[in-house]
């Protein structure tokens, strides 16, 4: 009875149709540069059409640039990621990736150019190698190792009883918070996508893990166009530009020093929110 019930659910999942579909003849993306452009985007979640989450949102991120998104809870920072990832369709405006309107492309093709490090990435009970390779199935052992090295994860993985082949337990429960974060950064890096979307974890880490995670993020940002939802001072200081969001709009743009000097929302956020 239980198995039959579970099978029904699996069948339902296999039959489900994605809400965001590819157009009949999708546009091709050019060679990847990692350029992102939001133009006057307006968006409300389908479940709450009256609540506008992004309102006239515009942002241009140049290839290789690191842009930090900061703003109070509910400002719409995660929604920016979700639209770029094509999890939802938006009603007005335009989003371009490498100069092409993402609505004209196959959502799958758009996603191969993006690499997401979520706040709490889902890690699995497989080995360290399995967990990293989840980022890109075809990655070779060398590529998995190189990604782990960049993510400052090589030290602790090599120290595990069977190295990369060590089973990590359900949800990788045998690892510490900082190790899990570095493993999810390695998973994102193995994808070799030009754009990195980072939702920085808010969980507090000890000083050594914090240093290693920051080093991993620094490495990751170096070779990618990076959009980061930042919660730490060390991260905003690495950004080329900081975009301050409030109620779905961009209210200010600048470097940390410029924004602090101007006072206003950023200065208040910086003094209240950033963990140092």
C-alpha closest to that of 101 among 18, 182, 35, 168: 35
The count of residues interacting with ligand ATP (CB under 6 A) is 12
- Closest approach of ligand ATP to the CB of residue 25, in Å: 30
Q: Which is nearer to ligand ATP, 44 or 193 (CB)?
A: 44
Residue 26, classified by CB atoms within 10 Å of its CB into exposed (0-12), middle (13-18) or buried (19+), is: middle
- Closest approach of ligand ATP to the CB of residue 120, in Å: 12
Q: In angstroms, rounded to a whole number, what is the distance separating the alpha carbons of residues 15 and 17?
A: 6
Among 29, 41, 67, 71, binds ligand ATP (CB under 6 A): 71
Among 67, 68, 75, 151, binds ligand ATP (CB under 6 A): 75
Q: Which is nearer to ligand ATP, 47 or 271 (CB)?
A: 47
Q: How many CB atoms lie within 10 A of CB 86?
A: 25
Q: Which is nearer to ligand ATP, 222 or 268 (CB)?
A: 268
Q: Is 241 left (phi over 0), alpha (psi -120 to 50) or beta?
A: beta
C-alpha closest to that of 177 among 224, 130, 210, 222: 210
Does position 68 bind ligand ATP by CB under 6 A? Answer: no
Among 48, 204, 208, 276, binds ligand ATP (CB under 6 A): 48
Does position 19 bind ligand ATP by CB under 6 A? Answer: no
Q: Which is nearer to ligand ATP, 146 or 233 (CB)?
A: 233
Among the candidate windows 41-49, 56-64, 145-153, 209-217, which touches ligand ATP by CB under 6 A?
A: 41-49
Secondary structure element (H or E) that encloses residue 217, with its range: helix 207-222
Task: Kindly list the distances between the CA atom of residue 119 and the CA atoms of 4, 22, 66, 97, 180, in Å, as whole numbers in the listed order.
Answer: 35, 28, 18, 23, 11
Q: Which is nearer to ligand ATP, 53 or 95 (CB)?
A: 53
- Closest approach of ligand ATP to the CB of residue 270, in Å: 15
Does position 73 bind ligand ATP by CB under 6 A? Answer: yes
Q: In angstroms, rounded to a whole number, what is the distance separating the alpha carbons of residues 114 and 107?
A: 11
Does position 74 bind ligand ATP by CB under 6 A? Answer: yes
**Residue showing tokens 């003094």:** 271
Residues that bind ligand ATP (CB under 6 A): 45, 47-48, 53, 71, 73-79
């Amino acid at each position: 009875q239980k198995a039959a019930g579970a099978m029904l659910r699996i069948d339902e999942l296999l039959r489900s149709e994605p809400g965001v579909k590819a157009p009949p003849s999708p546009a091709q993306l050019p060679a990847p540069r990692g350029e992102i452009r939001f133009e006057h985007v307006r968006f409300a979640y389908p479940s709450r059409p009256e609540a506008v989450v992004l309102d006239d949102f515009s942002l241009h991120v140049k290839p290789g640039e690191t842009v930090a998104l900061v703003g109070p809870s509910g400002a719409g920072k995660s929604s920016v990621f979700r639209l770029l990832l094509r999890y939802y369709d938006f009603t007005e405006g335009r989003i371009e990736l490498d100069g092409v309107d993402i609505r004209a492309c196959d959502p799958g093709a758009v996603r191969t150019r993006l690499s997401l490090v979520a706040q709490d990435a889902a890690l699995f009970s497989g080995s360290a190698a399995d967990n990293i390779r989840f980022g890109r199935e075809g990655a070779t052992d060398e590529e998995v190792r190189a990604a782990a090295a960049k993510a400052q994860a090589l030290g602790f993985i090599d120290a595990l009883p069977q190295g990369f082949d060590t089973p990590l337990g359900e949800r990788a429960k045998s690892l510490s918070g900082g190790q899990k974060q570095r493993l999810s950064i390695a998973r994102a890096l193995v994808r070799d996508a030009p754009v990195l979307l980072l939702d920085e974890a808010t969980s507090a880490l000890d000083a050594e893990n914090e240093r290693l995670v920051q080093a991993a993020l620094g490495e990751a940002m170096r070779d990618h166009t990076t959009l980061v939802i930042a919660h730490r001072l060390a991260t905003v200081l690495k950004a080329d530009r900081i975009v301050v969001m409030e109620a779905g709009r961009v209210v200010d743009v600048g470097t940390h020093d410029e924004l602090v000097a101007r006072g206003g929302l950023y200065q208040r956020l910086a003094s209240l929110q950033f963990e140092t």
